[in-house]
């Protein structure tokens, strides 16, 4: 087994900036922004010192609610340099989800942009924290979010009650380097520095606690699987708030001195323009992103011959799409990765020289320094190659646990340190894994993990709904769509449109059921358990979705 990296995220950046000071670290094509590794590290240090001046202590929780703006990447390293925990908030979240995460995470700071797509973040925050507009910046006293003290605006100006991000940079100039060094000396690679929320099977998202050690080593091994060097340039259209963005992209680059070329909000044309202009050698995305790029009417205009590799993940890749990515996008060494937030996140990955058949039929083999086994769901016994069971993993990649949820943590990680993924898989004799299903009823729609329980809990709050079961049905474009089977209360009436309208603006758009059907009862087992697989089978027949499977 190769040696593990024993560096904090901040020390890693110092090390890489020392080795490749003039290499380009971060490029924003549309903003004309370019940082070398020396400049990027200096910017991160400045922000880290500014946060210290604002009273941030090691272990404090700071939330960020933003798409792929430059401040996001800077904060990922600045917070790590002082041992603060960066809490990532899904850009699609609405008021109920924001309030839950800010409350559950005990976040003292919230960094946010003006808004994203159909959501005005400032207005959404005002609904959760009405005291903000009248409060002096830094002295917020919120009844519902007592921990929250500072709201920092990423953009021009500063809405009422907030301070602008550049103010933190200015404050950093007043802090001597020695003060930052003193804090850095107190950090351990096993400290938690990142918290990402994964939708909960119990109805509420769980804060996955990830350490320096988790992220640095996972990022390094992901980059190794793509054969990254300091000469690689990765176009990043996947969101930073997901592990896909902040680990498979950012950490894979920084561990190798490679160049990051983010796209702020996914747009296939902007991706194609960035790849051509910056001669990117790698590109990440979920299959739907690659499809949108390949099918863009202006696709033939772009010279993508610089592309070599990248990662496709989030859902299965159709073979025809893979063929086109290799042939028409020139990414002959594209890889497939599989994992989950709890494993920081990648467990298996294909390698650059794997044949196309393995890239479309498997999720690759286990990463270096990681253990993997397939176990019998009933007995827990390890299974031989070719037998289906639950995929379990152990090693540096396993999370510290769920924040303030010890019972949930104990369910996920057993006494021997094995993380139980809840995914059904088969491994062949060469170690290549196929994911064959899920023990939990998770829905994966266009790379977004959706836990039915969370939507069910929300819909239960409607006065007309007596019971609801949410499950996934196949969809050609997104892999799966959300469907709800609703039992109404006696004497109540409701339409499909009313169910959707109730959700709109209160839960993320991608969680709103695409299909709603009203039923009197559910198919049950003899012991009274609802059989969701039967509901799914019935829906596939009724909606004639057979060809989408």
Residue 229: which CATH number?
A: 3.40.50.12780
Instruction: Tell me the pLDDT tens digit for each residue of 404-420.
Output: 999 999 999 999 999 99
- Closest to 240 (Cα-Cα) out of 231, 230, 250: 250
Checking DSSP bridges between strand 346-349 and strand 365-366, what pairing results, if any? antiparallel
Residue range 77-98, pLDDT digits in tens:
999 999 999 999 999 999 999 9
On whether residue 218 sits in a domain, the answer given is yes
Average pLDDT of the residues in 532-548: 86
| DSSP β-ladder status, 479-488 and 206-211 | unpaired
Say if 372 falls within a structural domain: no
Look at residue 549 and tell me whether its pLDDT is greater than 70. no
Average pLDDT, whole number, for the chain?
Answer: 94
Query: Hey, is 217 helix, strand or coil?
Result: helix
**pLDDT over 50 (residue 527):** no
**Whole-number pLDDT of residue 377:** 81
Residue 403 belongs to a domain: no
Does 466 score more than 50 pLDDT? Answer: yes
Question: End of a domain among 327, 346, 361?
Answer: 327
Contact 154, 113 (CB under 8 A): yes
Please name which of 367, 267, 312, 332 lies closest in space to residue 479, comparing C-alpha atoms.
312
DSSP secondary structure code for residue 317 in this structure: P
Distance separating alpha carbons of residues 323 and 302, to the nearest angstrom: 18
> Looking at 327, 343, 374, which one is the last position of a domain?
327
Task: Please report whether residue 529 resides in a domain.
Answer: yes
Give yes or no: residues 451 and 307 share one domain.
no
Report yes or no: 349 and 337 within 8 Å, Cβ to Cβ.
yes
Q: How confident is the model over 309-327, as a mean pLDDT?
A: 89
Supply the pLDDT for residue 529: 58
What residue numbers bound the domain in which 513 lies? 443-548
pLDDT in tens, 207-226: 999 999 999 999 999 999 99
pLDDT tens digits for 156-166?
999 999 999 99
Count CB neighbours of 341 within 10 A.
22
Cβ atoms of 418 and 389 within 8 Å: the answer is no
Please give the model's pTM, rounded to 2 decimal places. Answer: 0.86
What total of structural domains would you count in the chain? 2
pLDDT for 99 beyond 70:
yes
Per the domain annotation, does 456 fall within a domain?
yes
What are the residues facing 208 on neighbouring strands? Answer: 196, 402
% the chain with pLDDT above 90: 83
Asked whether residue 366 is assigned to any structural domain, the reply reads no
Greatest distance between any 2 Cα atoms in the chain: 71
Mean pLDDT of 335-363: 96
CATH, residue 501: 3.30.300.30
The answer to whether the bond into 345 is cis (omega within 30° of 0) is: yes
Does residue 308 register a pLDDT over 50? Answer: yes
Count of all residues that appear for the chain in the document: 549
């Amino acid at each position: 087994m190769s040696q593990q990296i024993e560096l904090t995220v901040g020390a890693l950046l110092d090390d890489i900036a020392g080795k490749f000071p003039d290499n380009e670290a971060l490029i924003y094509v549309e903003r004309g922004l370019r940082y070398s590794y020396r400049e990027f590290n200096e910017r991160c240090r400045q922000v880290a010192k500014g946060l210290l001046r604002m009273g941030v202590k090691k272990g404090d929780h700071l939330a960020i609610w933003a798409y792929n703006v430059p401040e996001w990447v800077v904060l990922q390293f600045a917070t790590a340099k002082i041992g603060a925990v960066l809490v990532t908030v899904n850009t699609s979240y609405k008021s109920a989800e924001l309030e839950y995460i800010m409350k559950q995470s005990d976040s003292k700071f919230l960094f946010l942009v003006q808004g994203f797509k159909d959501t005005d973040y400032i207005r959404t925050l005002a609904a959760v924290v009405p005291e903000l507009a009248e409060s002096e910046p830094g002295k917020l006293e919120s009844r519902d979010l007592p921990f929250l003290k500072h709201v920092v605006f990423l953009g021009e100006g500063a809405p009422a009650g907030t301070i602008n991000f550049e103010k933190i940079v200015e404050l950093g100039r007043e802090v001597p380097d020695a003060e930052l060094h003193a804090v850095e000396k107190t950090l351990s690679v096993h400290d938690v520095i990142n918290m990402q929320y994964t939708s909960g099977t119990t109805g509420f998202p769980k804060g996955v606690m990830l350490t320096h050690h988790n992220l640095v080593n996972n990022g390094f091994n992901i980059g190794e699987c793509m054969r990254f060097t300091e000469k690689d340039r990765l176009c990043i259209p996947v969101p930073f708030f997901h592990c896909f963005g902040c680990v498979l992209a950012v950490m894979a680059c920084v561990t190798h001195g490679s160049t990051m070329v983010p796209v702020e909000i996914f747009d296939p044309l902007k991706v194609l323009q960035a790849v051509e202009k910056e001669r990117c050698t790698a590109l990440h995305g979920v299959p739907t992103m690659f499809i949108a790029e390949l099918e863009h009417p202006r696709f033939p205009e772009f010279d993508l011959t610089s592309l070599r590799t990248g990662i496709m993940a989030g859902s299965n890749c159709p073979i025809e799409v893979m063929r086109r990515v290799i042939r028409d996008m020139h990414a002959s060494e594209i890889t497939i990765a599989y994992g989950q937030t709890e494993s920081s996140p990648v467990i298996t990955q294909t390698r650059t020289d794997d044949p196309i058949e393995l890239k479309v039929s498997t999720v690759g083999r286990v990463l270096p320094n990681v253990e993997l086994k397939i176990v019998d769901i009933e007995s827990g016994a390890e299974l031989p190659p070719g037998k289906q069971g639950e995929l379990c993993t152990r090693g540096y990649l396993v999370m510290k646990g769920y924040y303030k949820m010890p019972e949930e943590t104990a369910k996920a990680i057993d006494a021997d340190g094995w993380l139980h993924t809840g995914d059904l898989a088969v491994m062949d004799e060469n170690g290549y894994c196929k994911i064959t299903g899920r023990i939990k009823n998770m829905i994966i729609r266009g790379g977004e993990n959706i836990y039915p329980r969370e939507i069910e809990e929300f819909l239960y709050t409607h006065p007309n709904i007596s019971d609801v079961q949410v499950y996934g049905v196949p969809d050609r474009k997104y892999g799966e769509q959300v469907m709800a089977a609703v039992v109404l209360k006696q004497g109540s009436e409701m339409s499909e449109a009313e169910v959707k309208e109730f959700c709109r603006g209160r839960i993320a758009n991608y969680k709103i059921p695409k299909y709603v059907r009203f039923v009197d009862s559910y198919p049950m087992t003899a012991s009274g358990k609802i059989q969701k697989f039967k509901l799914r089978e019935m829906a596939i027949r009724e909606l004639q979705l057979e060809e989408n499977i």
